[in-house]
Every structure is written in C-alpha cells, then in structure tokens.
Amino acid sequence: MRVLIVLLLLSTIGISCSKEDSTVDPTKIDIVTGIVVHKLDDDEGVLYGNPNEKIGYRYVDNKKVKDIIVYPSLFKDGAFIYASDTIRKIWIVKGKVEYHCPDINYQDLLKDYTYSNKELASASEDSVTANVKRYYLSLSGWEEGFYRIFVKTDSGDLYWTNICKDSNPEGERGFYNMYDNYWH
C-alpha cells in the first residue's frame, strides 16, 4: 500500500530529480537534497538546498516548534538530537548529495511516508537504542560528509533530518565552499 501511495504521489506531482538526464527516486533513503544548518536547538537555521526531511511540527503556547532537531547540524565531532517525545531508536545513514531536486515539495511528499525498520537497518552505518528526549551523537571517528539521522520516538513516529560532519567548514574543501554555490 505504501508503494502505491508513493507512486501515485510521484506521478501526480510529476517529480524528477535529475542530474545529467538520470532520474533519482526522491524518497531514496540515502539521498541528501539540502540541509538546514542549526547552531543551537532554538534557532531558525539557515536553509541550503531543498532538504528532504521529515521533522514534524506541533504548537506549544501558540508557537510552532519542531518535533525533532539535530544541532549543530554542521559539526566536527558530534551533535545533539532533541525530540519532543522520548527517543527510542536512532539510525545513521551515510548520505549521497543530490543537487537537482529544487522543485519537490518534500513536506507534502513525505507527510505520510515512512521507512521500515528493516530498510533502516539495511541502509544504516550504525544505530543506537535510547530512552531519552535529548541524545548526544558522537561521530568523532567517522568520515566527513553528509549523514541522514532517522529518529523513532515512543509514539512510533519516525522523523529524519540531514547533517554534515565537517572539521573545517570554512576551508577550501569545506561545506561553505563546496555546497554554497549549489544550494544557496
């Protein structure tokens, strides 16, 4: 049923992520189409590209807040994951950058989309079982680049966001020089 819904959405929206005439499935578990760079848990962040995230929102005291946030999302050694509900499982998937998906409305496309535990386990570099609302994810020994963080909460909801491990984001091969021209 999930496959049928995604196929209907794709055909209805007429989605194509292409680079040199290749078509990329916009729901592919490892593609990164953008990132919101957060330095703190309560900042708005800076948008780069068109992030294929599913973070969820709710209202608290008439203020729209995210159900999950990972900060800083551009980091050297690790990042904090904060969720409005208790975090039960975290999967880390190595990301592959896709630049040409600017016209996809990921909020609509991913609203009812999810990945199975089997898909996540198969694609992930690592996973963590937790029972907290705030978790520090250490990636100090990991390769630099993009990662997708998937978080399953106590309520069974699955959210995901994109992050970037970069020891020198201002450097010649750093995030700002490599991706600012493509996504900003």
Over residues 80-125, the pLDDT tens digits come to 999 999 999 999 999 999 887 778 999 899 988 999 999 999 999 9
* Mean local confidence (pLDDT), 49-64: 86
Please check whether residue 144 is in contact with residue 53, taking contact to mean a CB–CB distance below 8 angstroms: no
Is pLDDT of 23 > 80? Answer: no
How far apart CA 77 and CA 141 sit, in angstroms, is 8
Q: How confident is the model at residue 44 (pLDDT cuts 50, 70, 90)?
A: confident
Domain encompassing residue 43? 2-183
For residue 23, the cross-strand partners are 18
Task: Report the pLDDT value the prediction gives residue 119, as an integer from 0 to 100.
Answer: 97
Is pLDDT of 174 > 70? Answer: yes
Highest mean pLDDT among 10-19, 21-30, 102-111: 102-111
Task: Report the pLDDT value the prediction gives residue 101, as an integer from 0 to 100.
Answer: 79
Task: Report the pLDDT value the prediction gives residue 184, as an integer from 0 to 100.
Answer: 59
What share of the chain in percent tops pLDDT 90?
A: 56
Task: Report the pLDDT value the prediction gives residue 180, as an integer from 0 to 100.
Answer: 67
How many domains would you assign to the chain?
1
